[in-house]
Structure 1
Amino acid sequence: MGKMNVSNDALLALFAEMIWDNALRKYREENLYKEIDSALAKGDQTSFLALTSELRILQSLG
């Protein structure tokens, strides 16, 4: 029975990590959209390009 608990604990830890990673990715994506909007409003092309590049990379990973 001890091995079963270790396996379940490992699976639960992995599941929790997956949820955490997804939440962090979603949070960063939402912030990137806000920062992109701000860069557009300011006419800051350099920031806009950097932020949209980061967003594309983030979306390709998820």
Structure 2
Amino acid sequence: MKKHLLNAPKQSEMVDSLLAEMVLDQALRNFRKGQLQKEIDLALQDGNKEQFLRLSKELNLILQEAI
């Protein structure tokens, strides 16, 4: 029983750490998604097909990771 109680805080810290990492990853993904959307808009305005395709591909990869 004592052994289980000693491990409890470590498990709680691990869970907290994993949750924090998940939140941070999601925030970074959302930030990058917003950046890409703005850059895609600019590429469309400039008529830069190559940049549009490259950025769209990256955005699609990010969106697929979320599934």
Which TM-score band (shorter chain)? Answer: over 0.9
Gaps of 5+ in 1: none
Q: TM-score, normalised by structure 2?
A: 0.90
Partner of 1:56: 60
- TM-score calculated relative to the size of structure 1: 0.97
Long gaps (5+) in structure 2:
none
2:30 alignment partner in structure 1: 26
Question: Structure 1 runs of 4+ off > 3 angstroms?
Answer: none
Q: RCO (CA 8 Å, sep 6+): is it higher in 1 or 2?
A: 1
> Which whole-Å deviations, capped at 9, do the CAs of 1:16-36 have from their partners, x for residues lacking one?
000000000000000000000
Highest CA radius of gyration, 1 or 2? 2
1:44 equivalent among 20, 29, 48: 48
Aligned length: 62
Identity of aligned residues (%): 35
